[in-house]
Amino acid sequence: MQKTHNTLWLLYCRPGFEQDCAQEALRQARIQRPVIAEQPDICADSGYATVALNEQSLSYRELIFARQLIRVHRRIEPLSERDRLTPLLAAIAELPDTFGTLWLEVPDTNDGKTLSAFTRRFQPLLEEALRAQGKLQDDTAGAKRHLPRLHVFFPDKSSAMIGSSDPYNSAATIMGIVRQSMPAEAPSRSTLKLAEAIEVFMDKSEQTRLLRQGMTAVDLGAAPGGWTWQMVKRGIRFAAVDNGPIGASMRSST
């Protein structure tokens, strides 16, 4: 078990974008002051990157490539597959904070997916033990509403990173992925891209302020109409322009 000295930040990203993700975070940190910490290696196609910074902190909302922003407190490596609970509990017990939520997470890769069954089984066990320790508390009422989230990230089956995120400086979805279900009446799956962009890049007050019923917009290159459908659904009038045909389900609404 190794304590980190600089602040190590864990950033989840789409596999293949690890270098972009790390470089963007370092660029943001450099704007604040020079970065002198030694940078950890980036593992290609791993679905995450870590950056070590001295005093700088990062702003999640300004990062394009990072799906999630987590401050790492402990790394456990190797983590015995026979008993992951004991070392994790011991490491979490040493942290000064109390947490409002526990998220067990894996990389968004094929290897990561093989660990999902384990995290589903393990979640209630760890959660129960942390509640008994008083490390995890209900974060729904009164003064406790802004407790940090606790993340236990398994880069592989025999290591873990324990970290926390600030609910006001991070993604509000597990693994930083907004899960959208495909609306049956939308003309194309691309509708999900715009729905995700709205959720990721705009907070609720911006969504209400900037996407108001009765507004007018234009969609250039709109066919088959997935993006137009998102806007129409929000009561926005649309001029949809394309030299190809718009989807059948959109013709009555455009």
Ligand X SMILES: C[S@@+](CC[C@H](N)C(=O)[O-])C[C@H]1O[C@@H](n2cnc3c(N)ncnc32)[C@H](O)[C@@H]1O
Over the Cα atoms of the chain, what is R_g? Answer: 21
> Is 232 among the residues that bind ligand X (CB under 6 A)?
no
Rounded to an integer, what distance in angstroms lies between the CA atom of residue 191 and that of residue 233?
11
**53, 58, 126, 223: which one binds ligand X (CB under 6 A):** 223
> Which position's Cβ is nearest ligand X?
221
Which stretch, 7-15, 16-24, 53-61, 239-247, contacts ligand X (CB under 6 A)?
239-247
Stretch that binds ligand X, among 72-80, 124-132, 141-149, 221-229 (CB under 6 A): 221-229
Single out the segment in contact with ligand X by CB under 6 A; choices: 31-39, 84-92, 128-136, 217-225: 217-225
Q: Which is nearer to ligand X, 78 or 221 (CB)?
A: 221
Pairing of strands 48-53, 149-156: unpaired
Taking the alpha carbons of 76, 174, 52, 72 in that order, is the dihedral positive or negative?
Answer: negative
Q: Does 100 bind ligand X (CB under 6 A)?
A: no
Rounded-to-integer distance, Cα 60 and Cα 124, Å: 29
Among 116, 173, 190, 249, binds ligand X (CB under 6 A): 190
CA distance 39 to 67: 20
Instruction: Break the chain down into helix, strand, coil percent, rounded to 5.
Output: 35, 25, 45
DSSP-based three-state secondary structure for 152:
strand
Considering the rule CB under 6 A, would residue 205 count as an interface residue with ligand X? no
Segment contacting ligand X by CB under 6 A, of 15-23, 24-32, 135-143, 216-224 = 216-224
Find the shortest distance in angstroms from Cβ 28 to ligand X: 30
Question: Residues 63-99, buried b or exposed e (16+ Cβ, 10 A)?
Answer: bebbbbbbbbbbbbeebeeeebeebbbebbeebeebb
Binding of ligand X at residue 245 (CB under 6 A)? no
Considering the complex, state which of residue 103 and residue 227 has its C-beta at the smaller distance from ligand X. Answer: 227
Q: Using CB under 6 A as the criterion, which residues of the chain lie in contact with ligand X when the complex forms?
A: 188, 190-191, 221-227, 242-244
